[in-house]
């Protein structure tokens, strides 16, 4: 049975992390920034699972499960904050938000 080399996992992970980082830096829409952050977290998951597959350990999968739980929590809280800011300030862009006081 052929196994996928570690370089393939790490290459895909680096590409996805780079795309997520570019999305976080370049985009101004709050939802797009949140989605780019999720993409970067999933890239870390791919690297952890790839290293786990290559080394034959279970720690990578355990950390990946923790990151998935963290990402779900971050998405729920982040979307809640984005909705609250939109209702309060009527803005969708990070450039338009200068202060968070009422």
Q: State in words which class domain 6-100 has.
A: mainly alpha
Q: How do residues 8-19 score in pLDDT, each as one tens digit?
A: 999 999 999 999
How many residues are recorded in the chain? 102
Report the mean per-residue pLDDT for the chain.
87
Residue 35: per-residue pLDDT = 92
Residue 29, SS3 per DSSP = strand
30, with CB counted inside 10 A (0-12, 13-18, 19+), is: buried
Q: pTM to 2 decimals? A: 0.80
- Tokens of residue 27, six digits: 């985009």
Contact 46, 13 (CB under 8 A): yes
Q: How do residues 17-46 score in pLDDT, each as one tens digit?
A: 999 999 999 988 888 999 999 999 999 999
* Range among 16-25, 74-83, 84-93 rated most confident: 16-25
């Amino acid at each position: 049975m052929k196994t996928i080399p570690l370089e393939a996992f790490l290459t895909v992970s680096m590409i996805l992390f780079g795309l997520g980082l570019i999305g976080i830096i370049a985009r101004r829409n709050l939802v797009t920034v949140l989605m780019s952050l999720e993409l970067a977290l999933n890239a870390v998951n791919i690297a952890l699972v790839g290293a786990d597959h290559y080394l034959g350990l279970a720690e990578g999968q355990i950390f990946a499960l923790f990151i998935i739980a963290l990402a779900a929590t971050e998405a729920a809280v982040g979307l809640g904050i984005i909705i609250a800011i939109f209702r309060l300030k009527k803005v969708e862009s990070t450039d338009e938000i200068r202060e968070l006081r009422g």
